[in-house]
Amino acid sequence: MRKHRSRIGRRFGSRAIAAVSLLVALTFAARASAQDIAPLSNNPVGQGAVVGAEKLPPGESQAVYSDPLAPFNETMFSVNLKLDDWVLRPVAHGYSFIAPEPVREHVSKFFDNVNVIPRFTNSLFQLHLPQAGTEVARFGINSTLGLAGFFDPAGTWFGLQEHPNDFGLTLRYYGVPAGPYLMLPFMGPSTVTDTVGKAADAFMNPLSYLTYMTNVSWWVPFTASAGWRLGEAVNYRSLHMDQFEEADRYAVDLYGAVQDFYLQTREHQVRELRQR
């Protein structure tokens, strides 16, 4: 086990799950489901525990990744832990006290429905036209029959399932290497390639065009976009408190667990894209 992993694990073990929720909620355009997180409760975190390990080829869960930016990444990881401890976790607790779980689940569906543009556009970039059509159909059905997306009749009635997609996956699909692992302040785990992808996906956010379509200052769409992402993160955080607390009991190496979680999930998503 790498020394920097152990050091972070010892220092922040009591804050383990707060960080996992922050990083997952803020950085996965395609957020992992609670079923993906659950396997962590059966494995010591950071010792081969991997999201969706049953889907990976034999031995892949033991992969060791290059981390040349480890000093920077560790610092940013600590910053993100503090942000979750001071902001996201308390807000999520208060929100879950006010809003019943069924309401928060429907809010999650609403966010998924609105985030259709990156999924649709990147499906086109990858020439996955059937999937692009599915995204359009899902958005149309859920925005009407699903009452603005708070319900998912496209999935439950018509069997049209959402698939994760973003520009980082598009770059990987066409053979661009992932590049070094990178922990982003306020946003969580990434790679150099995925960071470029996040910037590209940001231009697909309709809020980004408020400045050009109206006379408002640039800070208005920036603030609106940040508020939107924070709301999405708080809602996701509140829905998975139990899973994160369960994983916290096994937090031996949090830094390594988050790194493995992110990188192996992304590799799995790339393989799925290439198999379509």
Is residue 267 a contact partner of residue 133, using CB atoms and an 8 Å limit? Answer: no
- The alpha helices in 99-218, defined as continuous H runs, are 101-114, 116-125, 129-144, 153-156, 167-173, 192-202, 210-213
Evaluate whether 262 touches 59 at the Cβ level (below 8 Å).
no
What pLDDT is recorded for position 252? 73
Q: How far apart are CA 8 and CA 13, in angstroms?
A: 8
Contact 67, 181 (CB under 8 A): yes
Q: Write b or e for each residue in 102-124: b if 16 or more Cβ atoms lie within 10 A of its Cβ, otherwise e.
A: eebebbbbbbbbbbbebbbbbbe
Residues in CB range of 24: below 8 A, 6 or more apart? 31, 32, 37, 188, 236, 261
- pTM of the full structure: 0.77
pLDDT at residue 59, as a whole number: 42
Q: Is the pLDDT of residue 35 over 80?
A: no
Name the amino acid, one letter, at 122.
Answer: N
Using alpha carbons only, give the angle 229, 31, 94 rounded to the nearest 5 degrees. 55
User: What pLDDT is stored for residue 242 in this prediction?
Assistant: 76
Q: Report whether pLDDT(201) > 80.
A: yes
pLDDT at 47: 35
Domain total of the chain: 1
pLDDT tens figures, 155-182: 999 999 999 999 999 999 999 999 999 9
d(CA 131, CA 30): 15
pLDDT category, 4, cuts 50, 70, 90? very low
* Reported confidence tier of residue 32, pLDDT bands at 50, 70, 90: very low
Tens of pLDDT, residue by residue over 79-93, are 988 888 899 889 999
DSSP string, 231-265: HHHHHHHHHTHHHHHHHHTTBS-HHHHHHHHHHHH
Instruction: Kindly report the average pLDDT of the chain as a whole number.
Output: 78
Contacts of 234 (CB under 8 A, 6+ apart): 25, 88, 91, 92, 95
Above 50 in pLDDT, residue 66?
yes
- Distance, in Å, from the CA atom of 194 to the CA atom of 23, rounded to the nearest integer, reads 14
Q: What is the structure's pLDDT at 69?
A: 96
- Domain with 12, as residue range(s), is 3-275
In sequence order, which residues have a C-beta less than 8 Å from that of residue 28 and are 6 or more positions away?
164, 265
- Lowest mean pLDDT, pick from 22-36, 101-115, 173-187, 196-210: 22-36
Give residue-wise pLDDT tens across range 133-150.
999 999 999 999 999 999
Per-residue pLDDT band at 12 (split at 50, 70, 90): very low
| Local confidence band at 245 (pLDDT 50, 70, 90 cut-offs) | low
Q: For 102-111, what is the mean pLDDT?
A: 97
Question: Which pLDDT score is estimated for 276?
Answer: 82
More reliable by pLDDT, 220 or 102: 102
Percent of the chain with pLDDT over 90: 53
Most confident of the following: 3-12, 25-34, 157-166: 157-166
Percent of the chain with pLDDT over 70: 71
Q: Is the pLDDT of residue 1 over 70?
A: no
Euclidean distance between CA atoms 127 and 154, whole angstroms? 22
The answer to whether the beta carbons of residues 243 and 25 sit under 8 Å apart is no
